[in-house]
Structure 1
Amino acid sequence: MRLTIFGATGRTGEHLVHQALTAGHQVTVVVRGEHSIQDHPQLRVVPADVMDPGSLTEAIRGADAVLDTIGSRDKGPTSVATDTALSITKAMESVGVRRIVLVSNSARIAGPGDDWFTRFVVKPLILRPLLRHSLDDMAAAEQAVRDTALDWTIIRAPQLTDKPAKGSYRTAIERNVTFGIRISRADLATCMLDAAADPQLIRAHINVAS
């Protein structure tokens, strides 16, 4: 596949780029300026302002799928995920690219699939207040993607770790993964690549965990 990856210099994005290249995909990454991404014959690096849809068209044009791992690292109010999702989807629509996989978070969704303690205590009383700004931003980013006519898949992940890949993961469609507490960034990257190639997951919310 021809893939365009946003957030490639982040901890999940680095795994995503490595795995995509190892699998033989043609990869385009969007960077803001200086970067430490190593050269690869199947890799194209495009400097661009992710908040400017017009500057993204070169990186997106001709892609089979766009993968968005961008999120905020700030603890205060933020709209980074939302603003970038709006910009990316607008650029996609302008060049006729339809497939997008967006990473979000499962902490704000308390419901089917959760065990009792997670559903009624951990998520609403602990995680939601603690992470409210980033979770609100991710919720708005999800909505921005859903409001398009694109072929989207939203992947909701739990706590991310830097542990080595297990080489497997569990998923649940339109519900939470029972006891889905965490997942390694490497396994999340694998899930994203798998989802991008699976047309059955178009317009679906996929929860993932180890």
Structure 2
Amino acid sequence: MRLTIFGATGRTGGHLVRQALTAGHEVTAVVRGQHAMTDHPQLRAITADIMNPDDIAMAVRGADAVLDTIGSRDKGPTTVATDATLAITKAMASVGARRLILISNSARIAGPGDDWFTRFVVKPLILRPLLRHSLDDMAAAEQATRDTELDWTIVRAPQLNDHPAKGSYKTAVDRNVTFGIRISREDLAACLLELAADPQSIHHHINVAG
């Protein structure tokens, strides 16, 4: 596949680029500044203003799937994820690209699939207040994605860590993964690659956990 990856130098995006290249995909990595990228014949690095649809249109043109791994590390109010998603979806629409995979977070959604303690205590009373700014940003990015006519899949992940890949993960469609507390970034990247080629996941929220 021809894949365009936003957030390619991030901790999840870096795994995604490496795994995609290992699997034989053609990768366009979109970066915001000067970054050292792997020298690989199947890799094209583009430096662009990711918040400008006109600037990134060439990066998504011809892509079989676009993967948005952009998030904010700011603890205060932020719109980074939302602004990036709006720019990416507008750029995709302008060049006829269809398939979008968006990373989000499962901490905001307390509902089916959660055990009682997670659903009524951990998420609403601990995680939502603690992560409210980034979760609000991700909620708006999700809505911006759903408002498009693209073939989107929203992937909701729990706490991420840098542990070695387990080589397996659990997913749930349009519901939470029971006891889905955390996942390694490496396993999350593997899940994203699998979903990019899975038409059954289009217009669904896929929750994933290790």
For normalisation by structure 2, the TM-score amounts to 0.99
The CA deviation at 1:29 is: 0.6
User: What's 2:84 paired with?
Assistant: 84
How far, CA to CA, are the matches of 2:174 and 2:199 in structure 1? 16
How far, CA to CA, are the matches of 2:207 and 2:54 in structure 1? 32
The CA deviation at 1:36 is: 1.6
User: What's 1:183 paired with?
Assistant: 183
**Is residue 2:36 matched to residue 1:20?**
no
The CA deviation at 1:37 is: 1.2
Q: Structure 2 counterpart of 1:38, which letter?
A: T
How far, CA to CA, are the matches of 1:27 and 1:206 in structure 2? 23
Q: Percent identity of the aligned residues? A: 79
User: What's 1:195 paired with?
Assistant: 195
Alignment of 1:88-99 (within 5 A): 88-99=88-99
For normalisation by structure 1, the TM-score amounts to 0.99
The CA deviation at 1:43 is: 0.1
Unaligned stretches of 5+ in structure 2?
A: none
User: What's 2:158 paired with?
Assistant: 158
How far, CA to CA, are the matches of 1:32 and 1:65 in structure 2? 20
Q: Structure 2 counterpart of 1:103, which letter?
A: I
How far, CA to CA, are the matches of 1:108 and 1:16 in structure 2? 24
How far, CA to CA, are the matches of 1:74 and 1:128 in structure 2? 15
User: 2:156 aligns to what SS in structure 1?
Assistant: strand
The CA deviation at 1:158 is: 0.1
Aligned positions, number: 210
User: What's 1:7 paired with?
Assistant: 7
User: What's 2:53 paired with?
Assistant: 53
How far, CA to CA, are the matches of 1:38 and 1:2 in structure 2? 17
How far, CA to CA, are the matches of 2:20 and 2:38 in structure 1? 14
Unaligned stretches of 5+ in structure 1?
A: none
User: 2:107 aligns to what SS in structure 1?
Assistant: coil
The CA deviation at 1:39 is: 1.1
User: What's 2:37 paired with?
Assistant: 37
How far, CA to CA, are the matches of 1:33 and 1:85 in structure 2? 19
User: What's 1:69 paired with?
Assistant: 69
**Is residue 2:104 matched to residue 1:104?**
yes
User: What's 2:141 paired with?
Assistant: 141
Displaced runs of 4+ in structure 1, greater than 3 A? none
Computed over aligned residues only, the root mean square deviation of the Cα atoms, in angstroms, reads 0.4
Give per-residue Cα distances to partners, 1:95-118, cap 9 Å, x unaligned. 000000000000000001000000
The CA deviation at 1:38 is: 1.6
User: 1:107 aligns to what SS in structure 2?
Assistant: helix
Q: Structure 2 counterpart of 1:11, which letter?
A: R
